[in-house]
Structure 1
Amino acid sequence: MATAPGALVPAATCAAAQGPVHVSEPTGYDAILLAGFGGPEGQDDVIPFLRNVTAGRGIPDERLEDVAHHYRHFGGVSPINAQNRTLRAALVAELERRELDLPVYWGNRNWDPYLNDALREAHANGHTKLLAIATSAYSSYSSCRQYREDLADALEDSGLTEALQVDKVRQFFDHPGFVTPFVEGVRAGLAELRSRGVSNVEVLFATHSIPSVDAQRSGPAELSLGDGGAYAAEHAAVAEVVMSEVGATDTPWQLVYQSRSGPPSQPWLEPDINDAIAALPAAGRDAVLIVPLGFLSDHMEVLWDLDTEALETAEEHHLEAVRVPTPGSHPAFVAGLVDLVVERLEGARAADRPALTSLGPWPDICRPGCCENVRRGFRPAVAGLAP
């Protein structure tokens, strides 16, 4: 992928091209790119969508049907596209409120509208410097580097490598705008459970499981954050902040995982949320509060894995259960995303950037070797230093 002369970061603006940890030079972006995961919008879309998601892994359609029935249960429609339309509209309104003249384009990695289409539209409208917001808050291959690789692919496939510059906001797992909706949700959820007369509640902070080998390589290679890498460390740090902000540090909690999809022979992060729920009665619990800490909106893995399977498991074990909302288009979350844009517009110093854990503020430019996928190797990616 081409870069500006002397640049180390592909497709970057001049301020980001040399790969500073935090970009402290103001940058005149002329558009925002909301980068989503994508989802089917009808029964005929389900298998083609899942083929896109699993491309290169050789998974036959009959195995994809094991996941497809989750979507078919809801008419073949994932709510994620509608949620991103709502988020985009909220971002536009917040940008206008702050008198920031930045159009917001939206493109997906795995379904229409694709990133390629969004880049072509931005280019056709005369925009050349885009700042991307990925709809994922944490560090791992699937939640950060794969977005950056797909942005690089989209530039190449659309023939716009030489015409567009694309930077990306930092991972925002500990930004107050992302954390505040969970603080509010946990506070309300605990109050709801207490109103039902239960007294022994455990809080389960849920996120998507990933292969252990990917977790170990999540985040910059020079960090030593344990077997779960930056991915697990970030979630645990945010959970601690939430419990502290709620004033519930005496309430037991744990980080759990969901939505595992790999072969049984491949280790993935554990414990599974359903196993954790099943163990709660023996620990003296009579209620569970489920917090979808790894997710931005109520997409399929929240509706199925949590609202269907996890709540059924809680009922089977005679536990009262409440599931906390995701940030969605919560005003604090939307304002926080625009704050991340303003950081880059103004070139804010790291010391002036809000972060609620000791891990942040996370780098603007991903460090060399960050979030390696050992099965695929390093592929071209924007917004980071090679490899």
Structure 2
Amino acid sequence: MSSRPADGPFTAVLFLSFGGPERAEDVLPFLENVTRGRGVPRERLEEVAQHYYHFGGASPINALNRDMIDSLRAALARRGRELPIYFGNRNWEPYVEDAVEQMYRDGHRRILVFTTSAWGGYSGSNQYHEDIARSVAALSERVPGSADDPVVLRKLPHYWSEPAFLDAQADAVRRARAALPDPDGPMRLVFTAHSIPVRADRAVGDGLYSRQVAQACEAVAQRLAANEITEYDQVWQSRSGPPEVPWLDPDIADHLEELVTRGIGQVVVAPIGFVSDHLEVVWDLDNEVAELTAKLGLGYSRADTVGTDPRFIEMAADIVDRYADGSGDLAAPGCGDNGAGD
């Protein structure tokens, strides 16, 4: 029977993300990975692939993650935490299974996992636990004897309510407002996050994901009250799947059209649900929404995502610091539960 690694400090960090293609020839295989088992028609995959081809066949996500990893490594070093950071993805290279195997071969047995989702729910949290468990199962097949010398991976907590995350979001809105055609004029703030099926949202924590997004929007709006940004809306984007399946709404495009009928002349759209400018931000917001607002005659400015803000990196370093010494560790071998509701 395998034994649990001795309690003690964690020796490395796994930076775990969704993944994305970096070459045109990888786009369809990547989309097949993402949708495997869902019965998505080939023609739908080819339609979505055009979004990637618009950017040369590459999603920005891997490059953005590498930039964040470099910044996080430097932030930890400034604190005296010389922890190596490995990069792994759910759906494309570098795969999480390969990253965990390399970490194991490099001698790491206690590993902290930072994910690029701030939220709870299935895809934002539970599925990352599944990724971790899958990588541990793969390790036992790839490395003889690893079952007798097991590894602990501990997923770090959600960070949607971290003050630094919320402060960075608020400042991004302020900068976006300054970029409006009439920065001193009336405007409407619209927060957006990735939609999911209503049934999926209710299945985990009775709407945990949508409730956290709503609470984060309210907290950011409170920070903006001094800037006379007191009213806001919270909408959803990037839905897919058959139209008969209810998803979280309102959809951002429908909502912007409705705002115009109410006489709204300018909007700031804040992609609070996304850590960085990956494809669903740059395509949905910087292309489709930008084209729609131009057609509607609606002044439009899109707020930055927080991955470019140094406070976000310092926040990630803070979270690693809280757990790096292993105090209060509740993780089971293989797939950690941080005891903080993630």
CA contact (8 A) 2:330 2:336 kept: no
Q: Partners of 1:67 and 1:383 in 2: how far apart?
A: 35
Q: TM-score, normalised by structure 2?
A: 0.90
Q: Secondary structure at the match of 1:35?
A: strand
CA contact (8 A) 2:3 2:150 kept: no
Q: Partners of 2:326 and 2:293 in 1: how far apart?
A: 47
Residues 17-37 of structure 1: per-residue CA shift (max 9 Å, x gap): xxxxxxxxxx51000000011
Distance verdict in 2 for CA 1:14–1:305, change over 3 Å: farther
Distance verdict in 2 for CA 1:384–1:244, change over 3 Å: closer
Q: Partners of 2:99 and 2:201 in 1: how far apart?
A: 30
Distance verdict in 2 for CA 1:249–1:199, change over 3 Å: closer
Residues 327-383 of structure 1: per-residue CA shift (max 9 Å, x gap): 12421000101111111135689xxxxxxxxxxxxxx979xxxxxxxxxxxxx9653
- Pick from 200, 204, 215 the counterpart of residue 190 of structure 2: 204
- Pick from 324, 344, 357 the counterpart of residue 323 of structure 2: 344
Q: Partners of 1:338 and 1:237 in 2: how far apart?
A: 24
Q: Partners of 2:308 and 2:97 in 1: how far apart?
A: 25
Match of 2:33 in 1: 52
Match of 2:236 in 1: 257
Match of 1:87 in 2: 68
Q: TM-score, normalised by structure 1?
A: 0.80
Are 1:157 and 2:138 matched, yes or no? yes
CA contact (8 A) 1:243 1:249 kept: no
- Pick from 157, 173, 179 the counterpart of residue 186 of structure 1: 173
Write out aligned runs for 1:126-141 (5 A): 126-141=107-122
Q: Partners of 2:231 and 2:330 in 1: how far apart?
A: 36
AA in 1 matched with 2:313 = V
Match of 1:244 in 2: 222
CA contact (8 A) 1:177 1:337 kept: no
Unaligned runs of 5+ in 2: 141-145
Shift of 1:251: 3.3
Q: Secondary structure at the match of 1:280?
A: helix
The count of corresponding residues between Structure 1 and Structure 2 is 330
Are 1:168 and 2:155 matched, yes or no? yes
329-338 or 29-38: bigger deviation: 329-338
Tell me how large the CA RMSD over aligned residues is: 2.3
176-185 or 155-164: bigger deviation: 155-164
Distance verdict in 2 for CA 1:294–1:14, change over 3 Å: farther
Write out aligned runs for 1:32-51 (5 A): 32-51=13-32
Q: Partners of 1:339 and 1:3 in 2: how far apart?
A: 32
Extract structure 1 runs of 4+ deviating beyond 6 A: none
Q: Partners of 1:151 and 1:308 in 2: how far apart?
A: 34
Shift of 1:316: 1.3
AA in 1 matched with 2:197 = P
CA contact (8 A) 1:86 1:329 kept: no
